[in-house]
Structure 1
Amino acid sequence: MKPIRLLAMLSLSAITVGIVATAMADDDRSYSGSWGTRALPGVAPVDFPLYQDECGSCHMAYQPGLLPAPSWEKLMSGLDDHFGENAELPENERRVLLNYLLNNAAGRSNYRVSNKLMRNIRGTPIRITELPYFVHEHREIPSRLVTGNPKVRSLSYCDSCHTQANMGSYNEHQINIPGYGRYDD
């Protein structure tokens, strides 16, 4: 191959690699560097009837992708005092539910919100509301719209404002705060 042609091909290859790398680095919304593939939006919706029935009977059945595996292990090992309530289950059901949670936990599924929730975690948090990414995303919401709002009461009631939370979508364009309406930060 002639030196000019080889130089042209190498230059074109370098430019192509540079463009692709720049596009991936700048598109935080759709690229998951840890997986090397495009991440799906939101979090994986709950698709396990036993989990929906058992956990969803008292509160929103939080998607497993909202916490990392060690957090689910910690939560499921202390069901006798589950945020002040006794939520104990027969051991066989607890194990089945734990396996579902671990297999679908943040860091084990390729969903954007799950991937972002894994950033900057310290220790083994058991509250989604204490994860750094969650805190960052909710930092500008006035307390009067949450804790001062009897229709919301707490940031832990995700489905109060996130109208598509049960489907795993936490898109900011689908937020409707009860008594307030659509919220844009």
Structure 2
Amino acid sequence: MKTLLNISVAALILAGGAYLYAEDDYEEHEHRSSSVVAKPMTKQDKTTMALYQKECGACHIAYQPEFLPKRSWDKTMNTLDSHFGTNASLDPADHKTIQNYLATHASRNDRMTGMGGEIAMRISETPNFKREHREVAQKMVTQAEVKSFANCAACHTKAASGSYREREIRIPNYGSWE
């Protein structure tokens, strides 16, 4: 009888742990910006992504387009001559290709960007970003290894591949996010 009770308790603990682990993944998925189901990439998609990575990723992480709505990306692309204090102008063909890529993959979910009529020029201005980072102490962000919230890859170890799960966060000089 005691063995049966121990097996039952162990099964309940395992089931509860599996539920919590699955719930954690579900919640993290809900907080990711993309609501698009991944489709196989065409050769053109791969070429466009490589161009975006090369041009925009030369100065900062090439942010996932799903982090901002189309109107924000349009404004960003139309003001590249003064892009946060830098002239980031592109040749016209590359400009058009990247702008189309960003528009096609931009967020369509106002719950994530939630700016109403305002046009966010920084991902860190969106309500979703603010909610997700509300517990991050300023000293963690302003340290030399991070510098600002714009440096996603400093803490989000898989940001370049589009994963921002809490279990993958490693804050320089502080360790894993708990």
TM-score (norm 1): 0.69
State which structure, 1 or 2, has the greater radius of gyration over its C-alpha atoms. 1
Q: Looking at both structures, which has the greater relative contact order when contacts are Cα pairs under 8 Å and sequence separation is at least 6? A: 1
Q: Where do residues 1-185 of structure 1 align in structure 2 (5 Å cutoff)? A: 48-107=49-108, 116-147=111-142, 149-184=143-178
Gaps of 5+ in 2: 1-25, 39-44
1:5 maps to which residue?
none
1:71 maps to a residue whose letter is S
Q: Percent identity at matched positions?
A: 40
Partners of 2:138 and 2:166 in 1: CA distance: 18
Partners of 1:65 and 1:30 in 2: CA distance: 13
Partners of 1:73 and 1:39 in 2: CA distance: 20
| Count of aligned residue pairs for this structure pair | 142
1:52 maps to a residue whose letter is Q
1:63 maps to a residue whose letter is Q
Q: Compared with structure 1, are the counterparts of its residues 180 and 40 closer, same or farther at alpha carbon in structure 2 (3 Å cutoff)?
A: farther
1:127 maps to a residue whose letter is R
Partners of 1:156 and 1:60 in 2: CA distance: 8
Q: Compared with structure 1, are the counterparts of its residues 143 and 28 closer, same or farther at alpha carbon in structure 2 (3 Å cutoff)?
A: closer
Q: How well do the aligned residues superpose, as a CA RMSD in angstroms? A: 2.5
**Alpha-carbon deviation of 1:93?**
1.0
Residues 154, 172 of structure 2: 8 Å contact kept: yes
Is the helix fraction higher in 1 or 2? 2
TM-score (norm 2): 0.72
Q: Compared with structure 1, are the counterparts of its residues 182 and 115 closer, same or farther at alpha carbon in structure 2 (3 Å cutoff)?
A: farther
Q: Compared with structure 1, are the counterparts of its residues 121 and 163 closer, same or farther at alpha carbon in structure 2 (3 Å cutoff)?
A: farther
